[in-house]
Structure 1
Amino acid sequence: MDEFSAGVAVCEKLEAMEQGIPRTRAEFQALGLTGIEFAAFRTDHPNGLGTDLTPLRSAVAVSEPGTLYRVDGDRCFTQLDVSRPLPFEDGAVDWIYAEHLIEHVPLNVAMGWLKECHRVLAPGGVIRLTTPDLAKYLAGYVQEDGFLARHRRRLSKLGFGPPMPDRKAFLINQIFAYYGHRWIYDQAELTYVLTEAGFDAEAVRLCSYRVGLHTEIADLDTAFRSDETIYVEARRRS
């Protein structure tokens, strides 16, 4: 997975910005930023700060932690480790988005990161999480509803990941062991970690692909993961 991440962590132009990483709500607003997309080298949200643990590089520059960068002239990026406290003040942003990130860290790290997300969200702010849905995989195994075969064909057609033999046990094991996955979630498990992080259980809602409280955030969902994904949002209490 590290090799894959390094392979996609590239851009044409990477410029260190004079101002440091925004920490306060006012500093975010001064940069025209309203939220954070984790696990994104170049967020598609025009008002988002992209972040990732892997360094981003161009032909002449490589990102370093603690520095804010302009990517390809129109997006902001900074290198962050979600296992450490976020360098932002309370209530700094209105939204947080993370696509297929939470499954890559141990449960205790995920819960610590979500507590930090809850802290840096402003009252009424929204977090949207997407991750492989354990329920889809187990239902596909038990019910033989065709999901595992379709998913295998889809990944093979896209050329994503290693070759996958057409064996049910292999396809179940790959979601736990491949791609650096550490913990796999269903809706109840996502609700659990979000409520432990400080979100109200009744504020956690199941969504669908590119459908959510805010269209511009839900539109960050990528199509090639949609068949296996669960989409969940939570709003911080006002």
Structure 2
Amino acid sequence: MTEQTERFPGWDWDDQDGLAARLDDFSAQVATCDTLEAHPGGLPRDHAGFRELGLTGIEFAAFRTAHPEGLGTDLTALRGTGTVSGTGSRTEPGTLYRVDGDRWFTQLDIAEPLPFADASVDWVYAEHLIEHVTMPVAVGWLREARRVLRPGGVLRLTTPDLARYLAGYVTGDGFLTKHRRRLTTLGFGPPMPARPAFLVNQIFRYYGHQWIYDLDELRHVLTLAGFAPEQIRHCAYREGVRSDVADLDTAFRTDETVYVEADR
């Protein structure tokens, strides 16, 4: 029995439904922290409420945002594995939590209206989130993000770049091989098959992905959401109008990612 078989018994990269169930289990395992404390004052509802908590923006798809002035959110519940006070050991929608004593979190579904007033925050950030929902849901969420941004605020999105995958497939420039190695180091399963067609298909079909974007497709949905074309710009890794927000980009995804900002 090989080491990979021992670590991942019964794993089959060709079984999409089976891998979806494994991913759900994996997500639940990583959605943990040491301590959770329910905030008695509830969610901030407007700009004044955010500022009272020392918050300036929202990071979506983040159990524990790296931004010291950010509110982290995710659809998946966050579990406390250590001392828990104020409520149970699992987050519930509609409640604001202090995570490990130094970050804020609330459980949100981006398919629903955001529970915040217009012009509540200065920035919104989402890394590799938009591809996990259908386009209508994405447009609805982007409209909500625009609504809660203050005038002069910025939305920063990152997502897998369809153009990069297709260029790698057509040219054989080594991108797909490099990407396969990167995913292996993440530890979610044994090494993927090296077949180029598989490595392109997995970005469409795995991880709960619903729609894959290139730069033009991002411009399209942002425009549908109300951002003016001249407000939308292509950015580089960790480069943007706000360095504190751009610095939320994670290094291990740079090989596959397109970065876009839109101003309110």
Query: Shorter-normalised TM-score: what interval?
Result: over 0.9
> Number of residue pairs matched?
236
**2:252 — aligned with what?**
224
**2:58 — aligned with what?**
36
Q: In the aligned structure 1, how far is the partner of 2:189 from the partner of 2:60?
A: 21
Q: In the aligned structure 2, how far is the partner of 1:125 from the partner of 1:8?
A: 31
* Correspondent of 1:120 among 142, 148, 153: 148
> Deviation digits for residues 120-162 of structure 1, max 9, x if unmatched?
0011110000000000000001111111111111211332455
**1:27 — aligned with what?**
49
SS at match of 1:164: coil
**1:96 — aligned with what?**
124
Residue 162 to residue 22, structure 1, CA distance change in 2 (3 Å): farther
**1:167 — aligned with what?**
195
Q: In the aligned structure 2, how far is the partner of 1:67 from the partner of 1:205?
A: 34
Q: In the aligned structure 2, how far is the partner of 1:161 from the partner of 1:211?
A: 32
**1:207 — aligned with what?**
235
Which stretch has the larger CA shift, 20-29 or 160-169? 160-169
| Contact in 1 for aligned 2:57/2:121 (Cα 8 Å) | yes
SS at match of 1:210: coil
Give the aligned residue type for 1:46: P
SS at match of 2:178: helix
**1:157 — aligned with what?**
185
Q: In the aligned structure 1, how far is the partner of 2:189 from the partner of 2:127?
A: 17
Highest CA radius of gyration, 1 or 2?
2
* Correspondent of 2:108 among 80, 90, 95: 80
Q: In the aligned structure 1, how far is the partner of 2:130 from the partner of 2:185?
A: 25
**1:106 — aligned with what?**
134
* Correspondent of 1:11 among 21, 33, 50: 33
Q: In the aligned structure 2, how far is the partner of 1:108 from the partner of 1:140?
A: 29
How far 1:203 sits from its partner (Å)?
1.0
SS at match of 2:207: helix
Stretches of structure 2 lacking an aligned partner (at least 5 in a row): 1-22
Q: In the aligned structure 2, how far is the partner of 1:15 from the partner of 1:133?
A: 38
* Correspondent of 1:142 among 170, 175, 183: 170
SS at match of 2:80: coil
How far 1:2 sits from its partner (Å)?
2.2
How far 1:6 sits from its partner (Å)?
1.0
Q: In the aligned structure 1, how far is the partner of 2:98 from the partner of 2:185?
A: 34
> Deviation digits for residues 190-230 of structure 1, max 9, x if unmatched?
00101111111111111111111111101111111111011
**1:2 — aligned with what?**
24
Q: In the aligned structure 2, how far is the partner of 1:162 from the partner of 1:32?
A: 42
How far 1:174 sits from its partner (Å)?
0.3
SS at match of 1:179: coil
Q: In the aligned structure 2, how far is the partner of 1:232 from the partner of 1:131?
A: 9
SS at match of 2:114: coil
Q: In the aligned structure 1, how far is the partner of 2:101 from the partner of 2:224?
A: 39
1:57 and 2:95 are equivalent in the alignment? no
| Contact in 1 for aligned 2:67/2:248 (Cα 8 Å) | yes
Q: In the aligned structure 1, how far is the partner of 2:112 from the partner of 2:249?
A: 25
Q: CA RMSD in A?
A: 1.0
Give the aligned residue type for 1:145: D
Percent identity, aligned pairs only, is 69
Q: In the aligned structure 2, how far is the partner of 1:160 from the partner of 1:208?
A: 27
